[in-house]
Amino acid sequence: MIRSLNAMEGYTLQALGGDIGRCSDFLFDDGQWTVRYMVADTGHWLPGRKILVAPTFLETAEWDSRRFPVRLTRSQIENGPPLDRDAAVSRRYERAYHEFFDTAYYGMGSELWGNGPWPGMTGPREGRKTPAAVPEPHLEATQVRSVREVTGYRVAAEDGEVAGHVEDYLVDDTTWALRYLVIDRSRLPFSRKVLLAVEWVDDVDLVERSLRVGVGASRLAEGPEYDPSEPVNEAKETVLYDYYGRPRGRAVQHL
pLDDT value of residue 91: 85
Rounded to an integer, the average pLDDT of 208-232 is 93
Query: How does strand 193-197 pair with strand 67-73?
Result: unpaired
Do 46 and 34 form a contact (C-beta atoms < 8 A)? no
pLDDT digits (tens, 9 = 90+) for 69-79: 999 999 999 99
DSSP letters spanning 79-129? TSPP-BTT----HHHHHHHHHHTTB--TTSSSBTTBSSSSGGGS-BPSSTT
Query: How does strand 193-197 pair with strand 178-184?
Result: antiparallel
Mean of per-residue pLDDT scores for the chain: 86
Question: Domains of the chain, with CATH numbers?
Answer: 2-140 (3.90.50.10), 151-244 (3.90.50.10)
**In which band, very low, low, confident or very high, does the pLDDT at 142 lie, cut at 50, 70 and 90?**
low
Question: How many whole angstroms separate alpha carbon 220 and alpha carbon 222?
Answer: 5
Q: Is the pLDDT of residue 125 over 50?
A: no
The H or E element spanning position 75 is helix 74-78
Residue 130 burial by Cβ neighbours in a 10 Å radius (0-12, 13-18, 19+) = exposed
pLDDT value of residue 130: 42
Question: How many whole angstroms separate alpha carbon 26 and alpha carbon 140?
Answer: 20
pLDDT value of residue 135: 45
DSSP letters spanning 215-233? S-HHHHHTSPBP-TTS---
**In which band, very low, low, confident or very high, does the pLDDT at 136 lie, cut at 50, 70 and 90?**
very low
* Prediction pTM value: 0.88
One-letter amino acid for residue 77 of the chain: I
Do 221 and 163 form a contact (C-beta atoms < 8 A)? yes
Q: Is the pLDDT of residue 133 over 50?
A: no
Do 175 and 118 form a contact (C-beta atoms < 8 A)? yes
**In which band, very low, low, confident or very high, does the pLDDT at 109 lie, cut at 50, 70 and 90?**
confident
Compute the Cα dihedral for 186, 146, 232, 218 and give only its sign. Answer: positive
Question: How many whole angstroms separate alpha carbon 21 and alpha carbon 49?
Answer: 12
